[in-house]
Amino acid sequence: MRHQCSISVGPARFRIGSAWRAPIEQLRRLYADYPGGACGNDGAADFTVRLEPVSPLRRLFRPSVAIAGDYMLPEAAPLALRHALLAAEMGMNLQMALGWRRHLLLHASAVERDGRAVLMTGQSGSGKSTLSALLGEGGWRFLGDEFVLLDPATGMVHPFPRMISLKNEAIGAMEAIVGDPSRFGPLLADTPKGAIRHLRPAADAIARQGETVRPALLLFPRFGHDRAIRPVGRDEAFVRLTQASTNYVTLGERSFAGLTALIGAVPSLAIDYRSGTEAQQLVEQLFAEQAA
Amino acid sequence: MQDDEASRFAAVQADAILREPLDGFEAVYHRSSGLTHLLAEPAPQLLDLLTDTPLTVAEIAGQLEGAYDLVPDGEADIPIAEIVAHRLEELAALGLVLKVAGKGPGR
């Protein structure tokens, strides 16, 4: 590819190639602080993501980015070049979802305090990503907003603190809290997912992205409902986590052992909330109760 | 070929499956297929009482009735043995129990 860089997020290393210079420069700026030779061109990578023109002419003329790489979705729609950062994010997610084998991958966000992790999983729109971003600015170590990597052998989770993908209302909410504008990527308006703006996690989250954590609490947040807390049975938690995993079947027995051990070891609770503040209070309360 | 009445069922090898009781059901991992099954009553109880020695459906149903206070759910008119036979056939199809097609005692 004409332009490329490598990015290390948690235990995974991506080589991002692009037919255009701008996406790579944006990635270099956003991932500048990441350890492991972030955005250098050296070293082996686990996965390759390629941002390619849909045809040779479309590199210059109405440039349109197709997401390619080691693992590809044939029907993935191309994105406008101004949305190339989203294309890179989707490409990295795709490689992890389809190709990662070292951990059980859960579609979940996570934060840590006092060496204990809170895992939050739910469907898109549940608010788990925004909630992890808020907590990450409020006394918690941000572990990830998209994937929780569970080691089935040890029960520990590995951070995956990629760029936080803020959507729509979450953008303004985080802009109001995060004082450093250099942590934000460009505003990507009118993407297929609405408005998106990337936020670089706090420096502590990036510096400690190699430190694994033991899970202490499993939450199923749901945004847009009156404040409520409901215990979740181990049966429901098991089903929901298998649904939230992209590689449960691939890992076979390791998945079964890892997931049943996790569910047996930590309490599972569903929480409903109407605002980020309310959700933060709920997490603080439940974490404190669990520790007591 | 109607030898179902004489068919007998036994447990699969102990290391062929992994069983994990959860709150409402039991998760069972079937090693050779790599599939996870979620079993509701009375399937886990059937797995519990099967052994290496093949038993007929009548014997298994009798043991089940002896061990549990059975209340057929919405199937009040169906004999317990028939329900047990259906569940055993399903479990056998999944590879979670062994079906031994036999001609009666002494195989």
Within 13 Å, how many C-alpha atoms sit on residue A15's CB side? 15
A248–chain B nearest CA distance, Å: 10
Beta strands in chain B (DSSP E): 8-11, 17-21, 26-30, 35-39, 55-56, 97-100
Residues of B in contact with A235 (CB under 8 A): 22-25, 38
Confidence of residue B44 (pLDDT cuts 50, 70, 90): very high
Task: List, for residues A243-282, the tens digit of each pLDDT value.
Answer: 999 999 999 999 999 999 999 999 999 999 999 999 999 9
Helix axes A128-136, A276-291, angle to 10 degrees: 70
**Which residue in the set B20, B24, B25 is minimally distant from A260, CB to CB?**
B20
Contact yes or no for B38 and A239 at CB 8 A: yes
Compute the 3-state secondary structure of chain B and give helix, strand, coil in percent, each to the nearest 5: 35, 25, 40
Average pLDDT, chain B: 86
B91–chain A nearest CA distance, Å: 19
Looking at residue B24, what is its pLDDT? 82
Question: Rounded to an integer, what distance in angstroms lies between the CA atom of residue A88 and that of residue A255?
Answer: 28
Number of CB pairs < 8 Å for A and B? Answer: 35
**Per DSSP, what are the bridge partners of residue A15?**
A6, A48
Confidence of residue B1 (pLDDT cuts 50, 70, 90): very low
Average of per-residue pLDDT across B2-28: 87
Helix (H, G, I), strand (E, B) or coil at A227: coil
Identity of the amino acid at A143: L
Spans of chain A, pLDDT less than 70? 36-42
Question: Rounded to an integer, what distance in angstroms lies between the CA atom of residue B83 and that of residue A68?
Answer: 52
Interface test with B, best of A234, A240, A263 (most B CBs within 10 A): A234
A97–chain B nearest CA distance, Å: 19
Question: Rounded to an integer, what distance in angstroms lies between the CA atom of residue A236 and that of residue B66?
Answer: 31
Whose tokens are 């270099």? That residue is A28
Please determine, for residue B3, whether its predicted confidence score (pLDDT) is greater than 80: no
Please determine, for residue B102, whether its predicted confidence score (pLDDT) is greater than 70: no
Looking at residue A64, what is its pLDDT? 86
Structure token pair of residue A262? 């996790």
Contact yes or no for B20 and A253 at CB 8 A: no
Interface test with B, best of A104, A230, A235, A255 (most B CBs within 10 A): A235
pTM across the whole model: 0.90
Residues of A in contact with B19 (CB under 8 A): none
Residues of A in contact with B25 (CB under 8 A): 235
Please determine, for residue B106, whether its predicted confidence score (pLDDT) is greater than 50: no
Count of other CB atoms within 10 angstroms of residue A155? 17
Looking at residue B66, what is its pLDDT? 84
Interface test with A, best of B15, B17, B22 (most A CBs within 10 A): B22
Question: Rounded to an integer, what distance in angstroms lies between the CA atom of residue A283 and that of residue A271?
Answer: 9
Structure token pair of residue A92? 């990295």
- Tell me which residue of A43, A42, A36, A40 sits closest to A10, measured CA to CA: A36
Please determine, for residue B17, whether its predicted confidence score (pLDDT) is greater than 70: yes
Structure token pair of residue A108? 């979940």
Contact yes or no for A233 and B27 at CB 8 A: no
A249 touches B: beta carbon within 8 Å: yes
